[in-house]
Amino acid sequence: MTAGIVNVLKPPGMTSHDVVGCLRRVYGLKKVGHAGTLDPGAAGVLPVFLGPATRLIEFAADADKAYRVELTFGYATDSGDDSGNVIATRAGFVPPGTGAIAAVLASFLGDSEQIPPMHSAIKVGGRKLYALARAGIEVERRPRPVTIAAIDLLRAADPVILFDVSCSKGTYIRSLCADIGDRLDCPAVMTFLVRTRVGDFTLATARTLEEIAAAPAAALLPVDHAVRHLERVVLADGDAARFTHGQKIPLGDLAGDRPLAVYGRDGTLLGIARRAAAAPLLEPVKVLAP
Half-sphere exposure of 207 (CA within 13 A, CB side): 18
Helices (H) and strands (E) in the chain, counts: 8, 19
- Residue 23 one-letter amino acid: L
* Catalytic entry in 18, 39, 78, 152: 39
Can you list the positions of beta strands (E) in the chain?
4-10, 32-34, 43-50, 65-73, 75-77, 86-89, 110-114, 123-124, 127-128, 144-157, 160-167, 188-198, 201-202, 220-221, 231-235, 249-250, 260-264, 269-275, 281-287
| 14 three-state secondary structure | coil
Give the C-alpha distances (Å, rounded to integers) separating 265 from 8, 232, 253, 269.
31, 12, 19, 10
Q: Is 262 helix (H, G, I), strand (E, B) or coil?
A: strand
CA dist., res. 206 & res. 211, Å (int):
10
- Catalytic residue list contains 39: yes
Q: At what angle do helices 98-106 and 173-183 cross, to 10 degrees?
A: 120
Positions marked catalytic: 39
